[in-house]
């Protein structure tokens, strides 16, 4: 087993949704589906929205469409990347995810395009849903 990595999962959240909250929720669910394989493989997954959305809420904003979101969403990911060891870039157009990749590359962090490429990847044993 390798040393556990903190891996930022980057992919579309708001992009391509037309600001439809249901589509944004679907995108967040897609990002979150990558969390278990990362964790199962001995690492710690992180998604910027897990931090940014509560920050927005605590500031009194009504969600990611608030004018305050511009000052929170991208900066959250940028700050997280100061602590992350790698990025998993999921498919799909996303300005924010592309920025995350650019920042990671500037910092010399690995960028994975498939969860299977993460060091120590453990294939699904099918037991998680039954536990």
Delineate the domains of the chain, giving CATH numbers in brackets. Answer: 6-118 (3.40.50)
Which of 14, 4, 77, 17 lies closest to 47, judged by CA? 77
Mean pLDDT of the residues in the chain = 94
Strand partners, 44: 6
Q: pLDDT tens digits, residue range 32-62?
A: 999 999 999 999 999 999 999 999 999 999 9
110 near 86, Cβ under 8 Å?
yes
> Which tokens sit at 115?
């969860």
Place of tokens 């870039």: 89
> What pLDDT is recorded for position 124?
86
Q: Which residue has the higher pLDDT, 129 or 122?
A: 122
Confidence of residue 2 (pLDDT cuts 50, 70, 90): low
- Mean pLDDT of the region 105-119: 97
Q: Is pTM, for the whole model, over 0.85? A: yes
């Amino acid at each position: 087993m390798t040393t556990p990595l903190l891996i930022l999962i980057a992919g579309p959240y708001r992009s391509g949704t037309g600001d439809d909250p249901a589509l944004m929720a679907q995108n967040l669910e897609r990002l979150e589906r990558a969390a278990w394989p990362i964790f199962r493989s001995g690492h710690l997954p992180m998604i910027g929205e897990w931090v940014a959305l509560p920050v927005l809420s605590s500031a009194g904003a009504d969600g990611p469409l608030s004018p305050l979101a511009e000052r929170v969403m991208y900066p959250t990911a940028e700050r997280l990347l100061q602590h992350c060891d790698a990025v998993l870039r999921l498919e799909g157009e996303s300005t924010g995810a592309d920025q995350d990749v650019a920042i990671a590359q500037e910092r010399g962090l690995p960028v994975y395009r498939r969860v299977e490429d993460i060091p120590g990847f453990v294939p699904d044993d099918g037991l998680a849903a039954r536990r």
